[in-house]
Amino acid sequence: MSDLGKIKFLRLAGEELSRVKARESIGLLAEKRLHSTLKRWITEDERCHEVKITGRGEKKRRFVADILTPEGEIFEVQTGKLYPMLKKIDFYMTETEYPVTVLHPLFREKWISWLNVETGEAAARKKSPLHENPLHALAELKPFLPYLENGRFRLCLPSLEVEEYRLLDGWGKKGKRGSHRYELIPLALLDTLWLKTHEDYAAQFPKDARLAVPFTAKTFAHITHLRGYDPYNVLAVFEGLGVIEKCGTKGRATLWQKR
């Protein structure tokens, strides 16, 4: 990503921050602000925003694309989980001929500020120890495997620095557990990764000597710092793309090896 692209993002984030928007529910403003910044980062021509797309099927289904460029490319901005987009992406890939790019931000650097519910004052600010990377996005791509190597589908992963404001309205001694997000402010664009070809996805496999020999999902999780089901989902994506394959068992655990 060029410095010009980063400067443009910084300008757009500042403009979105200054806009007055009606708050409909906790967290909604933040999601809309980030979503709007990313849409305008792709194109500031609002004539390309929110365009109705009609399918070629018998039922003539219709969806609204976040962006349809003059060149005929669809961009969908998804700041949350990717799975809710599956029906829409299925529609684009089976009932249209448009190239489709899913733009999904990764929060590589996050600052968290806690707000006192009664006074609105910031009670504390610290840097989150969690850093999202491309593997966190790959963990959500298992349902999209049929399209990952289709020439019409690609994934854009901008890495961002963000500031998250949370309300001290939860339970526990400090009110942090179960708290609500109040704002999510994009601060800066750090980098951008585009994934389109098999080589692009394969290049995301960690370069670690411990994965050069048969390994388990537990080893993979330890190396990548992925949690929960994420390491298993990433392994399933790499297997589906032919990057790795099963090669036996170790006790009750499956062994994997790189092809």
- Taking only the tens place, the pLDDT of each residue in 234-257 is 999 999 999 999 999 999 999 999
Contact 202, 51 (CB under 8 A): no
One-letter amino acid at 25 equals S
Same domain, 64 and 190: yes
170 & 256 share domain: no
Examine the domain organization and report whether 75 and 149 are in the same domain. yes
Mean pLDDT of 216-236: 97
Task: Let me know whether 43 and 141 are in one domain.
Answer: yes
CB 182 within 8 A of CB 165: yes
- Residue 112: pLDDT band (50, 70, 90) is very high
Q: What angle do CA 203, 127, 28 make, to 5 degrees?
A: 85
Residues 88 and 213 in one domain: no
Indicate whether 186 and 214 sit together in one domain: no
104 with 142, same domain: the answer is yes
**Which residue among 199, 233, 249 closes a domain?**
199
What residue has token string 């995301």?
Answer: 204
Number of domains in the chain: 2
The pLDDT tens digits for 157-213 are 999 999 988 888 888 767 787 788 888 889 999 999 999 999 999 999 999 999 999
- Strand-pair partners of 115: 122, 167
Among candidate residues 198, 107, 209, the one with its CA nearest the CA of residue 151? 198
What integer pLDDT is reported at residue 17 of this predicted model? 82
Range 115-128 average pLDDT: 80
If DSSP codes are grouped into helix, strand and coil, which group holds residue 254? Answer: strand
Contact 72, 96 (CB under 8 A): no
Select from 199, 231, 247 the last residue of a domain.
199
Q: What is the pLDDT of residues 49-82, one digit of tens each?
A: 999 999 997 788 999 999 999 999 999 999 999 9
Domain final residue, candidates 182, 199, 216: 199
Residue 123 sits in the same domain as residue 230: no
Which segments of 128-243 are extended strands (E)? Answer: 153-167, 181-195
Q: Are residues 100 and 160 in the same domain?
A: yes
Of residues 67 and 32, which shows the higher confidence score?
67
Q: Cβ atoms within 10 A of the Cβ of 12, count?
A: 19
- Domain housing 219: 205-259
Shared domain check, 182 and 153: yes
Per-residue pLDDT at 20:
56
What CATH number should be reported for the domain holding residue 234?
1.10.10
Indicate the burial class of 168 (C-beta count within 10 angstroms; 0-12, 13-18, 19 or more).
middle
| Parallel/antiparallel/unpaired status of strands 153-167 and 100-103 | parallel
User: 207 Cβ partners below 8 Å, 6+ apart?
Assistant: none
Is residue 42 located within the same domain as residue 129? yes
Q: For residues 80 and 90, what is the distance between their CA atoms, to the nearest angstrom?
A: 18
- Residue 214 CB-density burial (10 A; 0-12 exposed, 13-18 middle, 19+ buried): middle
217-224 helix and 230-240 helix, angle to the nearest 10 degrees: 110
